A and B are shown apart, each in its own frame.
Chain A
Amino acid sequence: MSVASSHNQPNYHILSVLVQNRPGVLARVASLFARRGYNIFSLAVAPTEDDALSRITIVVDVDSAPVEQVVKQLFKLIEVVKISELDPRRSVERELLLATIRVTSENRGQVVELTNIFEGKILAVGVEAITVSLDGNPDKLDDFEDLLRGYGIVELQRTGRVALPKLEREARLRAVKGKAV
């Protein structure tokens, strides 16, 4: 998942979408994006503190469509209850990466060292491969992934980001008003 760095003008937006926890909701969201030609960088779904609701965190490519249209079209889905648009610069984002790396007895130590520098975990060690995990800011995961690539990635899986507004400074959580029909 390579979205541009979030320092200046991010080309992505994070939408935190609260939906009714019902069958088919994810399919509705996915088919809306497909139907309207919006690109998704990543998507993560999970239940919330309220059993009746789930939260879908969507990272949208704003080059493919103005985010305002994406939000309004999403709102038209009956089961969408609330959409918060998170400014990447003012939110905390986390993601988890799992990777199995091809190693030899010579370079295994380098991969272990690299994982430790990034504060990742070693999950399994084999003769020719090693499985590591890293959670954290997606940018950090990007860097880690690039470095691992040099050793030979056997398999790699990332979860897609989840996000919440930052607490410290004034959290810029913009609840979009005017529920669509």
Chain B
Amino acid sequence: MKMTGAQALIKALEMENTEVIFGLPGGCILPAYDPLLDSSIRHILVRHEQGAGHMAEGYAHVTGRPGVALVTSGPAATNMVTPLCDAYMDSIPMVCITGQVPTTAIGTDAFQECDTVGITRSVTKHNELVMSAQDLPMAIRQAFHIATTGRPGPTLIDVPKDCLTNTMEWYWPSDAEVAESLPGYRPTTKGHPRMIKEAAKLILESERPILYVGGGILKARAAEALKELAELTQIHVVTTLMARGAFPDSHPLCLGMPGMHGNATAVTAMQKADLLVALGARFDDRITGKVSGFAPEAKIIHVDIDPAEQGKVRRPDVPIVGDCRLVIEELVKAIKDLLNGGATQADTGLWKSRVSGWREQFPLSYEMSEPGEALKPQFCLEALRDSAPEDTILVSGVGQHQMWSSQYWKFENPYSWVNSGGLGTMGFSIPAAIGAKVGRPDATVWAVDGDGCFQMTAQELVTASVERIPIKVAILNNSYLGMVRQWQEMFYEERYSEVYLSPEVPDFVKWAEAMGCVGIRVDSPEEVQPAIDKANGIDDRPVVVDFRVAASEKVFPMVPAGATNDDLLLPPTQMARKEFLR
């Protein structure tokens, strides 16, 4: 069947079961937008291409399916660089299609030409410049295959305009043909049996074990398997920022988030452990603190689908390359075999009592505001959490509000938390929340944002209003770039440099209303609950709640950059009993 490259492109996206495209048309991609009119694929017209990218990420986060973004050449492609890098850092499956100037004009500095594959090479898992309409189905097929298998990540296909207008003969490559076209791409999914046996032995021998769980658990859809492993061995679990929700916070074995702003128990338990079982986690600097002082007595079992993560930061005693779900299932079997064969698990009783001592002594805490004082951001989050409908998805930007969200929310289900971890992209939350709501229209989606973040991508609320995507936004507005302010207070002798944002401008309520949302302003504790109830009751348009919160509030605990996790700074009220963290 003959068709144009543009028709083939849209048909290929349909063949990949694409249900929604986030995009914005322009000169070079124009031909692709014509057959889109006749397609069953929903298109969401964004106001800025960066928004399309983060929406695709948010969609992928909550559905596990690749998000698709479609934009034109030049400035549209460069606007896509941040979301691509964000998706690359957090291993989010995403397929981005960019227009390009016609093949005959490539290299001439044509209007809206840029070297898209060159620019995006280091922020994509793979990218490709298509040079003929005939190549399109294979290129799209490869892009989806690469984005979703192995360690997931973003892929980009750059399509010159003449490849969209030229005619081609339709075909759809088989799985075998795709595999054959990528002779160097064979992800390992099954763990090595000998290594798994070795790991099982170490786990049973350990007196102070911790399961160190990262975002890979969610990518591998391994939450169930993880629960089985934890319950079988009765080992405590820490869930990193990328893994919040992978293990229920209400579970007695869950210690919550470790790392720079992790809770004291999770940080210390990792630090004092004799065995860390890293599952889909990559020993990020925000987790380890100073690497040379990280978990000095721990042996390491490292399960990761990406061999390059093995030994990148910390040399594992037992490296296992493979898919987390498959490996954990095998690990559970191996442990059961050992137990059935008469092996016994080491006594972890003493360790458990130490851990519960820490939990008792060092809960997350903040001081409630006195009457007349400014609202506490943590108080707002607790109220949001306690009123959130079941199955709420929480999305955050980057900064203090992100850390408080991760700390104070109670995550019970996988895929209920969306944030920008590796890249730390301010402005992530609003577009990502829109993408999440598109992927899970049945769920309530709350975006928690800072006033700094909000001002980076707020225009996408116009998209949300027009496309009838009723997300809810809570701005924790302290009129500061709050995390930077915190560092300047603590590490730059309170010399505040360029962190103060105006408390009066913009007027967030008016701005929200101008974008077709409901805007609510909250200044005092009594107003918090009514505002949240009102927001939860609105389902026909986006809502923005502007919480005016205390600027001086800091995120605790904190491991200062470059310090070891032993040098954790506790909230001022707990500092006096720090010696109990032993």
Residues of A bordering B, CB below 8 Å: 19-20, 23-24, 27-28, 31-32, 35, 66, 68-69, 72-73, 75-82, 178-181
Contact = CB atoms under 8 A, between A and B. Distances in A.
B183 to A, nearest CB: 5
Contact of A181 (B122, B183, B305): B305
Contacts of B129: 23-24
A75 B150 CA distance: 13
What's the dominant secondary structure at chain A's contact region?
Answer: mixed
Interface in B304-363: 305-308, 310-312, 321
A148 B188 CA distance: 52
Given A72-B308, A179-B184, A180-B308, 10 more contacts: A20-B183, A23-B129, A27-B118, A75-B308, A76-B308, A78-B146, A79-B184, A80-B184, A81-B184, A181-B307
Contacts of B305: 181
Contacts of A78: 125-126, 146, 182, 184-185
Contact of B187 (A35, A81, A181): A181
Interface of B: 117-118, 121-122, 125-126, 129, 146, 149-151, 182-188, 305-308, 310-312, 321
Given A24-B117, A28-B121, A35-B122, A69 B186 contact: no
A180 B121 contact: no
Contacts of A76: 306, 308
A30 B312 CA distance: 20
Contacts of A19: 184
Nearest to B183: A81
Nearest to B142: A78
A106 B566 CA distance: 74
Nearest to A179: B186
B182 A69 contact: no
A77 B185 CA distance: 8
Contact of B185 (A27, A35, A73, A179): A179
A24 B149 CA distance: 23
Nearest to A76: B308
A20 B183 CA distance: 8
Which 7 A-B residue pairings sit nearest by Cβ, starting from the closest?
A181-B150, A72-B308, A81-B184, A181-B187, A78-B126, A179-B186, A181-B151
Contacts of A80: 184
Nearest to A66: B311
Given A78-B126, A181-B151, A181-B187, A69 B311 contact: yes
B121 A31 contact: yes
Nearest to A34: B122
A28 B126 CA distance: 10
A3 to B, nearest CB: 25
A80 B305 CA distance: 18
Contacts of A180: 306-308
Nearest to B189: A181
Contacts of A32: 122
A124 B125 CA distance: 49
Nearest to B131: A23
B36 to A, nearest CB: 28
Nearest to B184: A81
Nearest to A28: B121
B184 A72 contact: no
